[in-house]
Amino acid sequence: MAQKRDYYEVLGVNKNASGDELKKAFRKLAFQCHPDHNQEDGAEAKFKEVNEAYEVLSDGDKRSAYDRFGHAGIDGFSNRGFEGFGFGGGMGSIFEDFYDIFSGAAGNVRQSHRRGDDLHTILTITLEEAALGCKKEIKIERYESCSECKGSGAKPGSEMRKCPTCNGSGRINKVQQSIFGRFNNVATCAHCFGEGKVISDPCKKCRSTGRERQQHVMEVDIPAGVANGNEMRINGEGDMGERGGQSGNLYIEIRVLAHKRFRRDGVNILYELPLNFAQAALGTEVKVPTLYGDVKLKVPSGSQSGRIFRLKGKGVPHLRRNGNGDQLVKLVLETPEKLNKQQKKLFEELAKSFEKESGKK
């Protein structure tokens, strides 16, 4: 596999280039290399390379990752489940301008079926589920294929007829004036969406859209290490597009419930261990709860309130790399509020002995 060129080199700009400089360079190169304008061998590959470079460098998050890690830092953006972890971008309005002018690369007619909407939902999970990962069932309402017409938009048994607007070709010619000059453009017919046929008898249930709103139940995998506020993207699980259009995406916002005993600090877990004076003074061995079960902890004699012990690897897994955080155990000495007679007597004797000890110094 050929090694990718540096994106700044592709666009012919330096690493401190501003957004306007990137856009100017991109427009110039894209116009020069577009296959509908440049018929030389390699023009299409060059055009795609320019698009890819601009898509990364025009997006703040992607550019930052690229500057730090090179091409390896960008690979995760297309495969990640999270956009908080990373989610999104695209070419923006300038890329749409090129599609409007050229009707897609290499002479392909762009389909005009309306893309389905993205959907958003909130999923509430426990700290243990967030730290260890889990499978959760979610219910959403979304547009799915019409149960009557099976997505065709036509009444069952009816026939399609030739589109009168494009005379069955699915395309129309139009002249368009743009910042790049005057172009004779072949565009998708807006009446038949490029199919060359139109519905003669629409489906009454979906009104020819080919879809209807239904409740959908699905199981999702929550990766270990997610945090409160993270957003998970599942491609193609949003609303179905009209008449076969591309489906939107589903975005799941993670909400993590507060825990009774633990607090989370990044990948570390914080826990306060209550001890009485005798345990702290004499030393003791206690069981400490963790996300992975109880572990034994030896507390040396003379331990002071506020001392912190570190339990290696008992924290939250790193979301995008191997290894876990730690659990930090903070000692909290508890002063008894009530004493029985025997306890009070023992404390009085202890206090006198401390007074004698201090008097000798």
CA neighbor of 310 nearest in space, from 270, 264, 267: 270
pLDDT at 77: 55
**pLDDT reading at 267 higher than 90:** yes
Give yes or no for residue 335 having a pLDDT over 60.
yes
Query: Residue 221 is which amino acid?
Result: D
What pLDDT is stored for residue 104 in this prediction?
A: 40
pLDDT 10s digits, 152-205: 888 888 888 888 888 888 888 776 655 555 666 677 787 777 778 888 888 889
* Rg for the chain, CA atoms, rounded: 32
* pTM score of the predicted model: 0.58
Q: Under 8 Å CB-to-CB from 88, ≥6 apart: which residues?
A: 233
* Amino acid 28: pLDDT: 83
pLDDT of residue 31: 76
- Side by side, which strands form the sheet with 263-265? 263-265, 268-275, 327-333, 308-311
Residue-averaged pLDDT of the chain = 82
Q: Tell me how far apart the 2 most distant CA atoms of the chain are, in Å.
A: 111
Q: How far apart are CA 4 and CA 233, in angstroms?
A: 27
pLDDT at 326 over 60: yes
Coil, strand, or helix at residue 351?
helix
Going by their DSSP bridges, the two strands 327-333 and 268-275 should be labelled as parallel
For residue 132, give the amino acid letter.
Answer: L
> Cα separation of 304 and 10, whole Å?
61
**Which segments within the chain are labelled E, that is strand?**
119-125, 134-145, 160-162, 171-178, 181-188, 197-199, 211-222, 231-234, 250-256, 263-265, 268-275, 284-288, 295-299, 308-311, 327-333
Q: What is the per-residue pLDDT across 7-26, written as a single tens digit (0 to 9) for each?
A: 999 899 998 888 888 888 88
44-72, pLDDT tens digit by residue?
Answer: 788 888 888 888 898 888 888 888 777 77
Q: How far is CA 290 from the centre of its chain?
A: 28
Secondary structure tally for the chain: helices H, strands E: 9, 15
- Residue 359: pLDDT above 60? no
Q: Classify strands 171-178 and 181-188 as parallel, antiparallel or unpaired.
A: antiparallel
pLDDT band, residue 352 (cuts 50/70/90): confident
User: Taking the mean position of all CA atoms in its chain, how far away is CA 182?
Assistant: 41
What are 212-262's pLDDT values in tens digits? 999 999 999 999 999 999 999 999 999 998 877 789 999 999 999 999 999
pLDDT in tens, 134-157: 999 999 999 999 999 888 888 888
**272: nearest Cα among 261, 258, 286:** 261
What are the Cα distances from residue 198, in Å, to 146, 153, 192, 240, 265? Answer: 18, 10, 6, 20, 59
Among residues 231, 214, 210, the alpha carbon closest in space to that of 222 is found at 231
Higher pLDDT, 359 or 265: 265
Helix (H) or strand (E) holding 66: helix 60-69
Residues 21-45: tens digit of each pLDDT = 888 888 888 877 766 666 677 777 8
Between 61 and 82, the higher pLDDT residue: 61
Buried b (16+ CB within 10 A) or exposed e, 71-105: eebbeebeebbbbbbbbeeebeeebebbeebbbbb
Instruction: Identify the pLDDT of residue 305.
Output: 93
